[in-house]
Amino acid sequence: MNSKNKKSNKSALHVNKGVDQPPSISPKARKNFQKFRKKSLSLDDYINGIKRGDRAILSRAITLVESSLPAHQELAQQIIEQCLPLAGNSMRIGITGVPGVGKSTFIESLGGEITKRKHKLAVLAIDPSSERSKGSILGDKTRMETLANNPDAFIRPSPSAGSLGGVARKTRESMLLCEAAGFDIIFIETVGVGQSEIAVHSMVDFFLLLMLAGAGDELQGIKRGIMEMADAIAINKADGNNKDKANQAKAEYNSALHLFPPSPSGWTPKVVTCSALHNIDIDTVWKTIMDYKELTTENEYWPAKRNEQAKYWMYETINEKLKSHFYTQEDIKTKLQNFEADVLNNRKSSFQAAQQLLDEYLKK
């Protein structure tokens, strides 16, 4: 009560009501923008735009792929179907590494190397965690400035959050559209700490793991199994005082990779050092990727892997959808909790619980 009195009109602490904040975007501009955005394109507009490599239209087609509106999805599927015969003529490269390893700088540097060689590069990201993708979008915008202004490069930030399966589908379909638009090198970037590396590994031709020297702590963040998927390990920031440490790490990784069983590709994973920031040995990374391409084109592992991947995604999608249909049934959800408790308390065996739930589901 006291304080209220003090703030009366006559108080020296009284503050007059301020004027309204002006809108941050001019209403007229907003209207124009919305009109522009609403001008919907026909299927043919999309197909022709993509075919002639129109980046604005490619971008809008990817937005359709990422949309969850049924009408958008339907149109997206029609676009994809017509783009499929044009897709596939690219080299798909997965790039992973924990935050702090210098992924954006590396992609800028390798991307510059690639576009210098008359390639057209599209950079996509896969990252199912919403928190992190918000970070990435900002990060990509500020960090990949050179590449973003490069006319031969196309950068698309992570799709908005969703399940890994959904994000993987969106990324794979966006990749097909980029290929149809004439991009012959595709980077797919992940953060190296989650399940998404397996998804990326299953949609690229070459899988590159970025590491730092000083093998101890930096590795902590890399998930088990990722090192075994790598076709090459690039030890970044190999410059200045760090050079010796990087070379030592290279030797260590080389002898560790030697202990892994050989991949069916016939390729032995390579370890290289580089400095993305100072543009040192980035061409060596590119040469390694080219060596891989030569070897696996010759021994026909390349097309075989592509076919395997196309089949993998068909079966993977079926299996995911089967599961999601089962686990989203309301009665199953309730029962599942009770059954889980029964299993943990030794009242039911895991198999009995599963069988009983399945019997009820299939009866319907």
Q: Which residues contact a second copy (rule: CB under 8 A)?
A: 77, 80-81, 84-85, 87-88, 169, 172-173, 176, 215, 219-225, 227-228, 252-253, 255-256, 258-263, 307, 310-315, 317-319, 321-323, 325-326, 339-340, 343-344, 346-355, 357-358, 362
In whole angstroms, give the CA distance from residue 179 to residue 175: 6
- Least distance between a second copy and beta carbon 213 (Å): 13
| Nearer of residues 249 and 274 to a second copy, judged by Cβ | 249
* 311 residue type, one letter: K
In whole angstroms, give the CA distance from residue 164 to residue 60: 22
| Nearer of residues 43 and 84 to a second copy, judged by Cβ | 84
Identify the H or E element spanning 297: helix 282-298
- Least distance between a second copy and beta carbon 348 (Å): 7
Beta bridge pairs of residue 235: 211, 273
The full DSSP string for 131-150 is: HHHHHHHHHHHHHTHHHHT-
Identify the H or E element spanning 81: helix 70-83
- 208 class by beta-carbon count within 10 Å (0-12 exposed, 13-18 middle, 19+ buried): buried
In whole angstroms, give the CA distance from residue 323 to residue 68: 20
Retrieve residue 50's tokens: 């993509």
- Least distance between a second copy and beta carbon 100 (Å): 16
In whole angstroms, give the CA distance from residue 140 to residue 147: 10
| Nearer of residues 88 and 135 to a second copy, judged by Cβ | 88
Question: At 271, is the secondary structure helix, strand, or coil?
Answer: strand
| Nearer of residues 45 and 320 to a second copy, judged by Cβ | 320
Residue located via tokens 């790490």: 249
- Least distance between a second copy and beta carbon 323 (Å): 6
- Least distance between a second copy and beta carbon 176 (Å): 7
- Least distance between a second copy and beta carbon 49 (Å): 19
Retrieve residue 349's tokens: 């065996």
| Nearer of residues 29 and 84 to a second copy, judged by Cβ | 84
- Least distance between a second copy and beta carbon 330 (Å): 16
| Nearer of residues 5 and 68 to a second copy, judged by Cβ | 68
In whole angstroms, give the CA distance from residue 278 to residue 274: 9
Residue located via tokens 């031709």: 205
- Least distance between a second copy and beta carbon 4 (Å): 55
CB atoms within 10 A of CB 42: 9
CB atoms within 10 A of CB 229: 17
| Nearer of residues 225 and 294 to a second copy, judged by Cβ | 225
| Nearer of residues 34 and 324 to a second copy, judged by Cβ | 324
Cα 120 to Cα 180, 223, 320, distances in angstroms: 12, 31, 33
| Nearer of residues 4 and 224 to a second copy, judged by Cβ | 224
